[in-house]
Amino acid sequence: MDNNLISYEQLYINGNWTSSHGNRKIEVINPATEEVIGFVPEATIEDVEYAIQAAKIALPSWSAISASLRSTYIKRLVEEMKSQQDLMALTITKELGMPLHFSHDIQVVGPIEGLETYIDIPQQLEEEKNNGNSIIYNEAIGVCSLICPWNYPLHQLIGKIAPALAAGCTMVVKPACETPLNAFLLAKMIDKIGLPAGVFNLITGPGPTVGEAMCKHPDVDLVSFTGSTRAGIQIAKAAANTVKRVCQELGGKSPLIITEEADIEAAVTFGVQDVMLNSGQTCTALTRMLVPVSCYEEVLLHAKNAVKEITLGDPLDTQNFMGPMSSQKQKEIVLGYIKKGIEEGATLLTGGTDNPLAKGFYVSPTIFSDVNNSMVIAQEEIFGPVLCIIPYETLDEAINIANDSPFGLSAAVWGESQQQALTIAKKIKAGQVYVNGADFNYQAPFGGVKQSGNGREWGIAGAMEYIELKSIQL
Ligand code: NAD
């Protein structure tokens, strides 16, 4: 066996590294080199059953331990993750392709910061509330199936594991097949902090088999899923027969409205960088840039200049802004949409379908101008480095275009002032809106409306997804 391979031979179930009932393996490919960099086991339905039973058995004692002990475990995990930041960042860069400096800051430091915000949440959840002749309690919902995508793999894992731990739930976790290695690293850390057996169980495998079994199982009380709207619908159907709670964090086609009075250069540069980050594989990417007709030419000039600064190449080189797409499949999907945009009559301002590098699943940063919001490239989630620039005449029209989408995950407004942008932000149908380049906040509720989902993650709102409210009348 190649010593450079990062391979895991066993699943993590019931507090032990456990051999799968099957003997199939999942190949992990570095999208920058196209080489196999490791293997993980592919779980079977029997493994899913074993993991769910382990979580079920662990539930009564875990949900009954004190809030302060749950906090202590979360604190220990924070410390453990802090000590392994570089290894986690390198692992994610190798399996996903995001440049290492971004992997470190966004894919690792960010989730650690998010996990840290959960240290105090168990105590908050323990507080009883009185209302009239009732006492209201927060009870752990139970056994959770947590299913994650590949684009911000550790961030998604922590966004589910942290509130589940805080609420006193037990869990079976499934990372995406493309990026499982960081989840195995995390499982090693969870093992090291001595979390009671069965609270956290790690399973791998394809969505339609292993994932579906996790959603259908009658002993599972909640499914939290982050991924495509397509899979989210299948998951909700699979979970429906046993009436479990399903929290869905799905796709997006988010707008950025730039007003006439805004600092156009700053706003356009921000918008271009936002879309190209992680090669456009960000669920909240601001892929529709809505700009006033009056400054259209200026916008196009700044967009071209901004894209010239997007360096593309080896994700281990800290000079690079963009690495490859996560997989050959993702690259082909994105190239298909670029061809579609050309066919639909949008103007290719920059980028296109040519291979920018001989090796690796690279796609050039691509910008379409003269896009009409009814075009396929403006309505469907491309999940690649493709920005659509859409002109508007009035702010009311801009708001209508922003809301004319099956999605409602995120949005942004860049205005002359915070006040102007805030007025517009309130009219956009999205779970979160960013004003004048504001930062992500790990304590604010994160989630979508419409076909972007129904769940909320992070902060106390994220924890409440894992809670059943119980009232006792006296
Ligand atoms: P995907 O839906 O193909 O897969 C996501 C996960 O679901 C994987 O673990 C997969 O194995 C599993 N899965 C797939 N089909 C399943 C099924 N029928 N039953 C159970 N599990 C199943 O998505 P992806 O390609 O990994 O991720 C990209 C998508 O995720 C994009 O649409 C993106 O917008 C979305 N996303 C949303 C958010 C958010 O917070 N809203 C965050 C990140 C990514």
Residue with the smallest CA separation from ligand 1 atom 15 is: 207
> Which DSSP state fits 118?
T
Phi-psi region of 184 (alpha: psi -120 to 50; beta: other; left: phi over 0): alpha
Rounded Cα–Cα distance for residues 134 and 132 (Å): 5
Angle, nearest 10°, between helix axes 67-82 and 85-96? 70
Tell me the two tokens of residue 97.
Answer: 């392709």
Active site amino acids: 249, 283
**What pLDDT sits at residue 4?**
80
> How many angstroms does the Cα of residue 214 sit away from the middle of ligand 1?
14
pLDDT in tens, the chain (474 residues): 456 899 999 999 999 999 999 999 999 999 999 999 999 999 999 999 999 999 999 999 999 999 999 999 999 999 999 999 999 999 999 999 999 999 999 999 999 999 999 999 999 999 999 999 999 999 999 999 999 999 999 999 999 999 999 999 999 999 999 999 999 999 999 999 999 999 999 999 999 999 999 999 999 999 999 999 999 999 999 999 999 999 999 999 999 999 999 999 999 999 999 999 999 999 999 999 999 999 999 999 999 999 999 999 999 999 999 999 999 999 999 999 999 999 999 999 999 999 999 999 999 999 999 999 999 999 999 999 999 999 999 999 999 999 999 999 999 999 999 999 999 999 999 999 999 999 999 999 999 999 999 999 999 999 999 999 999 999
Distance 24 CA to ligand 1 centre (A): 22
Q: Which atom of ligand 1 is nearest to the CA of 206?
A: 11
Contact 48, 172 (CB under 8 A): yes
- How far is Cα of residue 138 from the mean position of the Cα atoms in its chain? 27
Candidate from 151, 279, 337 with most ligand 1 atoms within 8 A of CB, to mutate: 151
Q: Which of 95, 173, 177, 250 to mutate to test the pocket of ligand 1 (most atoms within 8 A of CB)?
A: 250
User: What local confidence, expressed as pLDDT, does residue 2 receive?
Assistant: 56
pLDDT score, position 3: 62
Q: Are 256 and 414 in contact (CB under 8 A)?
A: yes
pLDDT at 1 (0 to 100): 46
Atom nearest to 147 CA in ligand 1 = 9
Find all residues with CB under 8 Å of 48, minimum gap 6, and list them.
172, 203, 210, 213, 214, 217
pTM of the model: 0.98
What is the number of the ligand 1 atom nearest to the C-alpha of 248? 41
Angstrom CA distances, 207 to 165, 334, 372, 379, 452, stand at 24, 21, 35, 25, 19
- Both tokens of residue 339? 């061809």
Judge whether 366 and 388 are in contact, CB under 8 Å: no
Give residue 161 CA to ligand 1 midpoint distance, Å: 17
How many whole angstroms separate alpha carbon 192 and alpha carbon 425?
44
Walk me through the domains of the chain, giving residue ranges and CATH numbers: 6-250+452-473 (3.40.605.10), 255-441 (3.40.309.10)
